[in-house]
Structure 1
Amino acid sequence: MLFLTRSGFVLAGLALILGVTVVAGLRQGLLAILGIGFGAVLQGARFGFTTGWRNYIERRDPQGIWAQMLLLALAAALTLPLIARGGGELVGAVAPLTISLVLGAFLFGGAMQLADGCGSGTLYKAGAGAPISFAVLPAFAIGSFLGASHQPAWINLGGLPAVDLNQELGWPLALLLTIAACGAVAWLVGRGARRHQAETGATPAKWAMRWWMGALLLALLYLIHMIVAGQPWGIVYGIGLWGAKVFAALGWSPVGDAFWGAAPHAQRLAEPVLADVTSVTNFGLILGAMAASRWHHPVQFKAPAARTLWVGAVAGLIMGYSARMAFGCNVGAFLGGIASASLHGWIWFALAFAGSIIGVRIRHRLNP
């Protein structure tokens, strides 16, 4: 039975890659492969951005954040020189320092704890069969669609221009500052963990190699994605595009919409969904996570309580909307922004982590 299951996933993966290549070209087929890799690593290593933050907030376990800092440093080291020397063919994830960034990141950080997953977490947990994801993902798509539509108005509230350290300082100094900042965060959370252990007598968390293997593999996939796609790995745009296509099929028109009616977004709506870079990697991610979760044993499905689904749906709606306010989620804004030496990535991290502290407290009240 296990042989049949594995064979089915191999065939499904080949079918996805072949179908995407035939419909949208070789580059998209390669991105489908990378998406499968992202999903397999996220699920196989259980590399959750949301979980890593919550582990530290609840019991001062620093391993998840340490691994994330390693991922950021490696991704920056691998891609900043390429962006600098790419002559415009490779672009980073750079965004302005707006009021919407601050508000959106804070809201996203709180909502992702209630949804038990960020953008990538929602996708890979949907692939793994986590029931709450089936409430979170559709709501996320609706929220992302609406948030994108309102994004220009949010940006017009004001702020500061983007700060691209790679462009301003050159990649060697930008990389040095990025690695130093990642090291500082790692040191701070380690110090917090040691202080917690001294005050409470708690034993240090058991070493989990999965975090470190996940960071190494994700950094490598991130590099390849940058080379193939010409841009950093992203999540949110594709999910929002799915929502926009559903609403368009129901009769909504993008004409006059400040976001979806403007090029190139209107073109993305008119094209097949497989022509979109983020959508293809998202589809592959779901399949990769599905295969990884079932490779050794079948997944046990347990229906969640109705309240859990309602909370997940509301949290997903807020996540999708706030991600557009803040120019991305943990992948697009946090990983992509910091690895691109854009200051907005660090601001996103600080505000989203603050929001996560509140989100964890609300989560405890809802699930005593």
Structure 2
Amino acid sequence: MTESAVAQPPLFGGRWQIDRFVVSTALAGVALLGGLIWLETAPFMVALFVIGTVLGIALYHGAFGFTAGWRNLVVHRKGAGMRAQLLLFGLSSLIMVPLLHSGQEGLIGAVAPVGTSLVVGSFLFGLGMQLGGGCGSGTLFTVGAGNIRMVITLVFFIIGTVVGSIHLPWWLDQPGVDPISLVTPLGVSGAILAQWLGLGLIAFWVNRTERKAHGSVERAALLWQAPSHGLVRTLLTGRWPFTWAILVLALGNALTLAIGGSPWSITFAFNVWGAKALEAVGVNMGQFEFWQWEYPAMALKDSVLTNIPSVMNFGVLLGAMLAAGLANRFNEASRNRPEPRQFYAAVIGGLLLGYGARLGFGCNIGALFSGIASASVHAWIWFACAFVGSLIGIRLRPWFRLPN
């Protein structure tokens, strides 16, 4: 749910048309990249690539993001998007918290430190969401769907993550505490119940806000409703009910954890892409402390086809491209060129998104979605601080000629 024009064909009526060139290109890309990943790594990486592709389709066909959902609640007092997010968090928590603590070896949750870096980073990310026009997943899938403005956001998102990686060691030296999992004091069941209580309280506030403004709560967007032109066409061309996207995203994250050993994340891949680009033009990234740490150093040295977030991001891009082609909307999105002020907003927003994601230990996916699914305290603080940043970003949008 970005403002990036992920407009979908109507659910009812109309002739079924697809963009054959875009669909063929996306399928060829999936086949080619899947083959390269198979040759470079192992079958489990191909599985993660396929999962990423399906997640990209779900994000596009479900128009599922965070930016517009938060803005619609603040500006229009409509909470369907936020309710969908809360349902997603609750379902994922139910699935993934027990999985993480099942005793299976090699599974690591998205649990991060709580401190100055988290607060500042998540606030900046929330501000950048509204100026850049998308969150981590929203930026990625709308780029895959051909949106020109979001390409600008993504480029500067990558730049911001690299700058953030250089500064991160300093931020981590500021006041903070070690990662906190709710499972430690509450147990698995207690952690899930505590998170459901928190999500329920937020849902109560969202519903109260909408009911106060409109007299009732709109629930149709979250309900199953069989379209007149059939299940298969809706599945292939959209638009999906939110419940479809919620199920796919929740199961996709759980499968990512089970197969890859850690939950779904997006922005570390941007870090790697930016650092590799700088190394290609002669910059020694190994001089910076972040890139001397074991995991970043390994990711910088190895092929991107061996890096799980990168492989899944490639899948999301191609999945969104495929979905846009099936919906016959790719060309429409590609004609959406920004005005000068909108260009500046994309630049500033992208930098804030990248810098904030690195300081805040991820984006709406890696820090928030996967964090709550891991019962991490840091995810809840990220949620609150990013929302405050988003409030400010919403109020700045009119100056950049961005609609609210």
TM class by smaller structure: over 0.9
Provide the secondary structure at the position in 2 that maps to 1:255: helix
233, 240, 245: which one aligns with 1:214: 245
290, 299, 324: which one aligns with 1:259: 290
Aligned counterpart, 1:54:
71
254, 261, 272: which one aligns with 1:223: 254
2:22 and 2:321 in contact (8 A); partners too: no
Please say if 1:21 is aligned against 2:38. Answer: yes
Aligned counterpart, 1:320:
354
Aligned counterpart, 2:115:
98
Shift of the 157–37 alpha-carbon distance from structure 1 to 2, 3 Å rule, reads: same
CA distance in 2, matches of 1:11, 1:130: 20
Q: Which deviates further from its counterpart, 300-309 or 353-362? A: 300-309
Deviation at 1:18, TM superposition (A): 1.6
Superposed counterparts of 1:1-368, under 5 Å: 2-3=19-20, 5-198=22-215, 205=218, 207-209=220-222, 210-297=241-328, 298-300=330-332, 301-367=335-401
CA distance in 2, matches of 1:94, 1:247: 29
Deviation at 1:87, TM superposition (A): 4.2
CA distance in 1, matches of 2:172, 2:180: 16
1:93 and 1:332 in contact (8 A); partners too: yes
Letter in 2 for 1:208: A
1:5-34 CA-to-partner distances (Å, cap 9, x unmatched) read 434433322222121111122121111101
1:314-367 CA-to-partner distances (Å, cap 9, x unmatched) read 110111011111111100111011111111100000111111111000002322
CA distance in 1, matches of 2:381, 2:45: 32
Q: Which runs of 5+ in 2 are unaligned?
A: 1-17, 223-240
CA distance in 2, matches of 1:122, 1:7: 23
Q: Which runs of 5+ in 1 are unaligned?
A: none
CA distance in 1, matches of 2:243, 2:338: 31
Shift of the 299–162 alpha-carbon distance from structure 1 to 2, 3 Å rule, reads: same
1:44 and 1:292 in contact (8 A); partners too: yes
1:262-292 CA-to-partner distances (Å, cap 9, x unmatched) read 2121111111111101000001100000110
CA distance in 2, matches of 1:315, 1:5: 28
Deviation at 1:245, TM superposition (A): 0.3
Q: Which deviates further from its counterpart, 207-216 or 282-291? A: 207-216
Letter in 1 for 2:282: G
Return the TM-score normalized by structure 1: 0.95
CA distance in 1, matches of 2:108, 2:341: 42
Task: Give the 4+ runs in structure 1 shifted more than 3 A.
Answer: 1-8, 203-206
**% of aligned pairs identical?**
37
Deviation at 1:185, TM superposition (A): 1.0
Deviation at 1:217, TM superposition (A): 1.4
Deviation at 1:45, TM superposition (A): 0.6
Return the TM-score normalized by structure 2: 0.87
Shift of the 286–193 alpha-carbon distance from structure 1 to 2, 3 Å rule, reads: same
1:124-154 CA-to-partner distances (Å, cap 9, x unmatched) read 0100111111111111111101111211110
1:84 and 1:170 in contact (8 A); partners too: no
Aligned length: 364
CA distance in 2, matches of 1:137, 1:5: 21
1:206-226 CA-to-partner distances (Å, cap 9, x unmatched) read 722422221121111111111
1:114 and 1:315 in contact (8 A); partners too: yes
Letter in 2 for 1:262: W
Letter in 2 for 1:310: Y
1:17 and 1:30 in contact (8 A); partners too: no
CA distance in 1, matches of 2:336, 2:170: 42
CA distance in 2, matches of 1:333, 1:93: 7
CA distance in 1, matches of 2:163, 2:322: 32
CA distance in 2, matches of 1:131, 1:4: 18
Provide the secondary structure at the position in 2 that maps to 1:260: helix
1:111 and 1:316 in contact (8 A); partners too: yes
CA distance in 2, matches of 1:268, 1:342: 25
2:181 and 2:377 in contact (8 A); partners too: yes
Provide the secondary structure at the position in 1 that maps to 2:220: coil
CA distance in 2, matches of 1:131, 1:25: 34
Shift of the 305–145 alpha-carbon distance from structure 1 to 2, 3 Å rule, reads: same
Letter in 2 for 1:189: V
Letter in 2 for 1:242: W
